[in-house]
Amino acid sequence: MVPNIMINPKKTVKQLIFFAKREFREKRPFNVRVLRMKSERIFTKGGPLKVLSISQTPSAYYLVLVEYENYLRIYYYSKDGLSLGARNFEVDKNLLQKINKSSVVEYKFPK
């Protein structure tokens, strides 16, 4: 029998904020943001009053976005706080707009 493990989102966010503070303190980027990804709507049925709406949560539930002068480093995390890897991207306004539209800011450095 599989034990029922409850995921505590507050604890996960606290761990990610601790990681983000350490990144900001050690590497001195312009800013560091902890983001939670919004679920995206796949299917909607109904008129003005929705009868059925199905949405999907992305596999990378949290992002830690570290912004430097020439590039961005994005760390991906699952819903329970497990690291899914990281990637570097060139600074691009379109990429930043897409990330801002599809996410909610949980924490930001510097304030």
User: Do residues 77 and 64 lie in contact, with contact meaning Cβ atoms separated by under 8 Å?
Assistant: yes
Please name every residue paired with 54 in a beta bridge, in sequence order, or none if there are none.
Answer: 43
pLDDT along the chain (111 residues), means of 10: 61 92 92 90 72 73 92 92 92 90 90 66
Q: Which pLDDT score, from 0 to 100, does residue 44 have?
A: 74
Distance, CA of 100 to CA of 67 (rounded, Å): 14
| pLDDT in the model for residue 1 | 44
pLDDT value at residue 94: 92
Q: Give the whole-angstrom CA distance, residue 70 versus residue 106.
A: 24
Count CA within 13 A, CB hemisphere, residue 80. 3
- Can you give the pTM of this predicted structure? 0.81
